[in-house]
Structures are given as C-alpha cells and as structure tokens.
Amino acid sequence: MQEDQEDAAGAGFSDHADVRSEPTSARGKMGKAREYVSSKVADASGNVRDQYAKVRSKVEEVDFGGATEQVRAYVRSNPGKALLISIGAGFIIGLLLRRGNDD
C-alpha cells in the first residue's frame, strides 16, 4: 500500500515536470512569433521604402512651373469657368470640413 502511495506521489511529480516544461515551450513559441513578426515588419518596411522612393522620383519629375503656367493660361482664356470651378471646389471642401467637425 505504501508503494501505491509512492507511485501516486511520483505520478504527481511527473505532472509537475510537464508543467515546468510548458513555460519553456511557451518561450519557444513566443520567440518564434517574435521572429515571424520581426520578419514581416522588415518586409513591410522595405516595401514602404520602395514605394516612397517611387513616389518621390515621380514627384521630382513633375514640372510644377509648367503646370502653373498651364493653369494661368486656362484661367486667362476661360475666366468664367475657372471662377465656377473654384467656387464649386471651395463649396465641396467646406462641406467636407464641416462634416469632419460634427463628429
């Protein structure tokens, strides 16, 4: 009977040994998750840098001086249309800003 109690006690300790190994397992899983997230962040960061470089090169290619001259020429040749377009754009922007303040 005493042997049965010792076996039962030993079985209880073996259960505790499994519990002790679980934190190590959890740490291993956390380490793997950390590595996975780090690699995904690095990939995303690289993609953002690439897209930023593309957009920057496109913006540098734009001739804003030439675009400004085209707008001035259009306004000089069509002052009524330009005025209506600017009023409409101002009205729409005003509505959007007004809606944003209500929230």
For the chain, state the CA radius of gyration.
34
Cα distances from 39 to residues 10, 45, 46, 51, 52, in angstroms, run: 44, 10, 11, 18, 20
Same domain, 9 and 50: yes
Mean of the per-residue pLDDT values for the chain? 81
In the prediction, which pLDDT does 3 show?
52
Whether 75 and 82 have beta carbons less than 8 Å apart is answered as yes
C-alpha 57: how far from its chain's center?
22
Q: What is the pLDDT of residues 38-55, one digit of tens each?
A: 999 999 999 999 999 999
Per the structure, how many domains does the chain have? 2
The answer on 69 and 48 residing in a single domain is no
* Full residue range of the structural domain in which residue 74 is found: 63-103
List Cβ neighbours of 82 (8 Å cut-off, separation of 6 or more): 74, 75
pLDDT at position 23: 63
| 26 and 42 belong to one structural domain | yes
- The 10s digit of each residue's pLDDT in 71-90 is 999 999 999 999 999 999 99
Q: How far is CA 6 from CA 18, 27, 91, 94, in A?
A: 19, 32, 86, 83
The pLDDT assigned to 25 comes to 82
pTM tops 0.75, yes or no = no
1 and 28 belong to one structural domain: yes
In contact, 74 and 82? CB cutoff 8 Å: yes
